[in-house]
Amino acid sequence: MHPLVKALIGVIVVLAALYYVFAGIPGFLKPALPDVITVLNGAIPLFVILLGIFIVWLEWDEWKIEKELKKEEEKLEREKRKSRRKK
């Protein structure tokens, strides 16, 4: 199937979902906007918690890397001093 056909199908699905959320399906389903808001009210705090955990993990890892780099630099500096003394 051609990529443009797939893209067109995707656009139709998005438009149909938006129509259902805001207008519902007359005679069958009421608009789903209140349900979407309820789901977002439950999901957003979880995403914020996960984002916070991710940031803490990144910063912890960066701190460990900086610590290791500092140790490595100190080791190299000691080796340089030793080699200067031998000369």
Q: How far is CA 8 from CA 4, 15, 18, 24, in A?
A: 6, 11, 15, 22
Report, as an integer, the average pLDDT of 40-65.
Answer: 96
Taking all residues of the chain, what is their mean pLDDT, rounded to a whole number? 91
CA dihedral angle for residue 29, residue 35, residue 33, residue 30, rounded to 10 degrees: 10
The pLDDT of residue 64 is 95
Rounded Cα–Cα distance for residues 33 and 40 (Å): 10
**Model confidence over 60-83: pLDDT tens digits?**
999 999 999 999 999 998 888 888
The pLDDT of residue 87 is 61
Rounded Cα–Cα distance for residues 41 and 52 (Å): 18
Give the rounded percent of residues in the chain with a pLDDT score beyond 70.
98
pTM exceeds 0.85, yes or no: no
